[in-house]
Amino acid sequence: MWNLEKALFEEGFSRVAGVDEAGRGPLAGDVYAAAVILPPGAVIDGLDDSKKLTERVRERLFDVIMSTATAYCVASASVAEIEERNILGATYLAMNRAIAGLGIAPDIALIDGNRDAGIEYPCRTVVKGDSLSASIAAASILAKVSRDRYMAELDARYPGYGFARHKGYGTAEHYAAIRALGATPEHRSLFLRKAH
């Protein structure tokens, strides 16, 4: 998973930040992003795309990544910002906040996906980057675990919606809860309108 970073090191980039998001698709909750700069060649056993890992493995790797990284930051954009900017604009906002929060300016950022129009830093996109880049994979885990923990907090604040289980995604259980209980302030009204 170091081939992309190695190629960039050979081009003269010394600080490479991997950037990924979590929570673009759900009906509720903030969208999260993380940026991670790993020391060149760092070995993190089990590092992979967060979607391929169990929750337990992600939780274990979360602490390992934070203790190994040269710099890391997790940031988010609120439901209000999603409503105002749309989900893509809010995702860029969260990603820019994560990169800014590193405390060390990266020479280049590797962005998971194929779009970077809203990124304010030198960057390159990498399709399926969370499976191809160590730093993007690390960012995907930090973003996913952070958002899952946030959804567990929402679950405690809004019992009956099942946020801890479905993480805000549009499951049958979630739609049934919205019909029975109504929408919470944490629901994305734009997404709910599209769902009906």
**CATH, residue 73:** 3.30.420.10
| pLDDT tens-place string over residues 83-121 | 999 999 999 999 999 999 999 999 999 999 999 999 999
Average pLDDT over residues 50-69: 95
Type and span of the H or E element at 190: helix 189-195
Per-chain mean pLDDT for the chain: 94
Distance from C-alpha of 34 to C-alpha of 97, rounded to nearest angstrom: 9
Separation CA 53–CA 160 (nearest Å): 27
Residue range 139-166: average pLDDT?
97
Tokens describing residue 62: 């979360």
**Domain range for residue 153?**
3-195
Domain count, the chain: 1
Contact criterion met (CB below 8 Å) for 70 and 38 = yes
pTM comes to 0.95
pLDDT band for position 195 (50/70/90)?
low
Rounded Cα distance, 61 and 42, in Å = 13
State the Cα–Cα distance between residues 19 and 34, nearest whole angstrom. Answer: 6
Residue 196 predicted with pLDDT over 80: no
At residue 40, the 3 state secondary structure works out as coil
Identify the burial level of 130 via C-beta atoms within 10 angstroms of its C-beta, where 0-12 means exposed, 13-18 middle and 19 or more buried: buried
Give the orientation angle of helix 55-68 with respect to helix 134-157, to 10 degrees. Answer: 120
The rounded distance, in Å, linking the Cα atoms of 20 and 43 is: 20
Distance, in Å, from the CA atom of 73 to the CA atom of 165, rounded to the nearest integer, reads: 25
Rounded distance between C-alpha atoms, residue 30 and residue 63, angstroms: 22
